[in-house]
Amino acid sequence: AAAVPNPAPAGCSASLQAVVYRSADRGQTWSPPRALNDDACASGNSHRDPRLSVATDGRIDAAFYDNRRDPAHNSFDIEYTNSTDDGLTFGPNSRVSDTSFDGMLLFAPLANGFQTRDYDTVTGLASTNGGAIVAWGDTRSNPGGSTDVFSSRIGLMPPPPPPPPPPPKVTHYRLTHPRFAAVGARPAPRRPKARKLEHGTTFLFTLSETASVKIVIARRLPGRRRGGTCVAASRRLRRARACVRIARAATLRHAGARGANRIAFSGRVRSRALRPGGYQATLSATDSGGRTSRAQTIRFTVLGG
């Protein structure tokens, strides 16, 4: 491969220039150096340690240290430019850093050049078709000279969206009385030593946030399997596999608050008492953003009054 040409554009050897070389033949020959900085090379400004990155659409991004904004040339910024013609030309420079920082703490002058303090290890550039991210060593927060890493987004690339808030959670879901009679239900014969019969119950649960609560009450009935469905038993299906058929009986709605909640349930739906038998209640909560909790199901038994 051919040797790289002189490391500075013609007439610019008196100051440090951020330059790029271009090869269209896999490094056999190289173009003359092209300055990435767009100020006059005779200005005495220092431009150093450029980084290049290429987006998948072919755009070439470049970023470098630059002290053009300080007449004394002690404070540095990070400048950015890009090329959309395969490196033939680069566009105007734009300032990336929002605050200048003391570059002399990074580039300590010596008789034969510059002494660095590991700034190279934290200078980086990454590109996407929508923009770029540049990271650099910066001493603005540390007057003593230690370096922090700062970064900035460039171009059309928006910051990643925050993760969506989680759906509400329902915990500690239970009934005060899992076996009860409906309020006002017709009395049923009882054995002499039967325990005191509770009338009605209360749903207890805890919400992680304010949400609209729905409790679907359904009766659990014996059935027979027909294909993939559980249907009512019949003589024709008497040999089919037994199953439990779920028949919706009522839906309760409640404006739930964050924390502990209580919903009283009399065992009556539209003024009618639920028939004795096995039931289940499935609770779900939906918040203001439309996110719905995982459903929680609990079984209970309605007894004759």
User: Mind listing the pLDDT tens digit for each residue in 152-183?
Assistant: 988 765 566 888 899 999 999 999 999 999 99
> How confident is the model over 66-102, as pLDDT tens digits?
999 998 888 889 999 999 999 999 999 999 999 998 8
Per-residue pLDDT, averaged over 123-131, amounts to 88
DSSP string, 163-222: PPPPPP-EEEEEES-SEEE-TTPPP----TTPPPPPB-EEEEEEESS-EEEEEEEEEEEE
Task: Please report, for residues 237, 285, 296, 303, the alpha-carbon distance to residue 288 in angstroms, rounded to integers and kept in the order given.
Answer: 46, 10, 20, 37
Report the run of H or E that residue 281 belongs to, with start and end: strand 277-286
**pLDDT-based confidence at residue 12 (cuts at 50, 70, 90):** low
- Position of tokens 């096995």? 278
DSSP string, 48-94: EEEEEEE-TTS-EEEEEEE-TT-TTS-EEEEEEEEESSTTS-----E
Q: What is the pTM of this model?
A: 0.50
**pLDDT-based confidence at residue 3 (cuts at 50, 70, 90):** low
**272 in Cβ contact with 152 (< 8 Å):** no
- Strand partners of residue 259: 207
